[in-house]
Amino acid sequence: MISPNKLYTLLLSLMVGGVIALAMACTTQRKEQPIRRTSPLQLRLPSSTSKVKAATNAGDNFFVRLQSESAWTLHLSPETAKEWITLERTRGEAVARPLDIAVQLSKNLGPAREAKLIVRSGSLADTIVITQQGTAPLPPPPPPSPNPNPNPPTPDPSGEHILGDVTLLEAPALAGGSNNYYITHKANNVVNYSLEYDADKRHPRFVCFSFDDITSETAVKRTDAWKWDPMIPQQYSTESMFRNSGYDRGHLVASHDRVYSREANMQTFYYSNMSPQLPNFNQKYWSKLEQQVQSWGRNKKFRDVLYVAKGGTIRDDQVENTKVQGHIVVPKYYWMAMVVKKGDAYHGLAFWLEHKEWDMKTPMMTVALSIDELEKKLGIDLFHNFPDDIEKKFEAEDPSDPSMRAHWPGI
């Protein structure tokens, strides 16, 4: 039989041990271990509980979401990961609300690779693993068929020709269809601009690009390097169709949008970037809007990045009855959409205007509207690669709201 004193001592020991075990179980994991949702520091992928981001060898653009109750720093491991991973920011103060940070992965021409994205705050840390597929060698050709004229499979009529990066934040959602070519042109290994070209209508559905510290530079002059787009079959060329048509070869990505390198400017003269525009529209009010966008894009105090999508309408109910040379549709309307990122803030603005001569004194607010309104007119999902919460906010912004005008000086 256990004496009362020994029984009391045994019970006290069990109680103390239980408290210690409970305290250890509630201790926050440190170093590079995952942090629970109740932790004062957390790094995760939006709308996902996974701690691994898998990317294809074509590159990727995505956001990570950070929460921290104190100052934090973001690191890549190993150090060589900086050669293929670009972080929007790497340090900051405490954030009261979750902070989304853009991450860009370059194209991988070598073997598969992996890196850790680590956030630290004091003695706490949290990690996301980033993996990227390698570029696999081409498979050997199949042996010749014993039948010299086999029945080929029917191609998927909805399949679009994807020759570019569809994950770019400035890229709208694609229309699909075997008549469409989505292309990303690069200059000096930098993304220059992208477009979706409708080969049936001989006109781009949209073009898109961004201004940052590299692409906003003014280093070269206009090249006038007119030629057909080498990434679209020559059979769709419009090189000879504008002559004596009464329309300008209207750039959608303007020549002066891209003067950071000679190659970049030359690519703006591809005919896939041209739209048949009335001279008094192209050279006057449309040009005025383009110059305003360029002034925003080259103002480092205004933007960290300015994302731009532009186009002329090509939907059947939004084109003129007559085509140029029987092939090129003529838009009834032209549009621009912009998203400016400065620090943690994003703001959106759009322009929509009829294809006609405009009085140069027309205030820009006359043709300004929200991106939501523009999407309804176009039937195009713009800027869909942004996180939904960020996209919903900037696309709803009404430019007629006086508080919004401060974000877009000059309109």
- Domain coordinates in residue numbering, the chain: 41-132, 161-406
- Looking at domain 41-132, its CATH architecture is Sandwich (2.60)
Arithmetic mean of pLDDT, 401-406: 84
Distance CA 208, CA 336 (A): 10
**Report for 29-33, 108-112, 258-262: range of highest mean pLDDT:** 258-262
Arithmetic mean of pLDDT, 17-42: 48
Arithmetic mean of pLDDT, 341-366: 96
Q: In this prediction, what percent of the chain has a pLDDT beyond 70?
A: 84
251 labelled catalytic: yes
Return the pLDDT at 406.
Answer: 83
Arithmetic mean of pLDDT, 251-267: 97
Return the pLDDT at 147.
Answer: 44
Distance CA 32, CA 129 (A): 11
Return the pLDDT at 60.
Answer: 85
| Res. 31 pLDDT band, cuts 50 70 90 | very low
Round the average pLDDT of the chain to a whole number and report it: 86
Return the pLDDT at 38.
Answer: 45
Q: For 279-333, what is each residue's pLDDT tens digit?
A: 999 999 999 999 999 999 999 999 999 999 999 999 999 999 999 999 999 999 9
Distance CA 291, CA 395 (A): 22
Return the closest-CA partner of residue 68 out of 100, 34, 39: 39
Return the pLDDT at 138.
Answer: 40
Distance CA 313, CA 81 (A): 42
- Is 151 annotated in a binding site? The answer is no
Cis peptide before 78 (omega within 30 of 0): yes
**Which of the following CATH numbers is that of domain 161-406: 3.40.570.10, 1.10.645.10, 3.10.400.10, 3.30.70.3280?**
3.40.570.10
Q: In this prediction, what percent of the chain has a pLDDT beyond 90?
A: 64
Q: Phi-psi region for residue 172, left (φ > 0), alpha (ψ -120 to 50) or beta?
A: beta
Please work out, in degrees rounded to the nearest 5, the angle formed at the alpha carbon of residue 85 by the alpha carbons of 82 and 89.
85
Return the closest-CA partner of residue 296 out of 263, 341, 261, 343: 341
Catalytic residue among 185, 203, 251, 407: 251
Task: Answer yes or no: is pLDDT of 112 > 90.
Answer: no
